[in-house]
Amino acid sequence: MFASDTLIAALNRQIGHELEASVQYTSIACFLASQTLPELAAVFYDQADEERGHAMRFVKFILAVGGKVAIPARPAPRSDFDSVEACVEKSLDSERAVTDQVNELVDLAGADSNHVALRFLDYFVVEQLEEVNKMSSLLTLVRRAGPEALHWVEDYLSRQTADR
């Protein structure tokens, strides 16, 4: 096996964190869709898919290094929100927590002198910078618009999608 039992256990925990984030983002997207905010909902549906993809990267890595995948149970997602701002704040907090988790994995892989795992985790280090910046920017945008002008956020997001 190309990874210690300790590292495999930590990677399995990360699968749980990524799947938890995926389900939480789906829940946020559903809340936003119910508020007739389809562009904001689409952002979070996409985030949910991305987090599931991250979980699958960890699954495939564990299998590639000869480890056993053991997906942990996770708590139910939060589904009630007072505002769009609260949804985005929850997302930013989640991305910051995942950043801390990824950094802990990097520290663990480094302590194990596991260079394969370190190269694998490089993707997630860069990804988390992007994710925190994306949610931080979205939070700033939502706060600037305020609850009465979320149609401007919807318009902005629709133009961002059209430009891609």
For residue range 87-120, what is the model confidence (pLDDT) as tens digits? Answer: 999 999 999 999 999 999 999 999 999 999 999 9
pLDDT higher than threshold 70 for residue 137: yes
Residue percentage of the chain with pLDDT more than 70 = 98
CATH class of the structural domain 5-163: mainly alpha
- pLDDT of 164 > 70? The answer is no
What's the token pair of residue 47? 């985030």
Q: What is the pTM of this model?
A: 0.94
* For residue 82, pLDDT beyond 60: yes
Q: Where are the domains of the chain?
A: 5-163
- The whole-angstrom separation of Cα 41 and Cα 20 is 18
Residue 76 has pLDDT above 70, yes or no: yes
pLDDT band at 160 (very low <50, low <70, confident <90, very high): confident
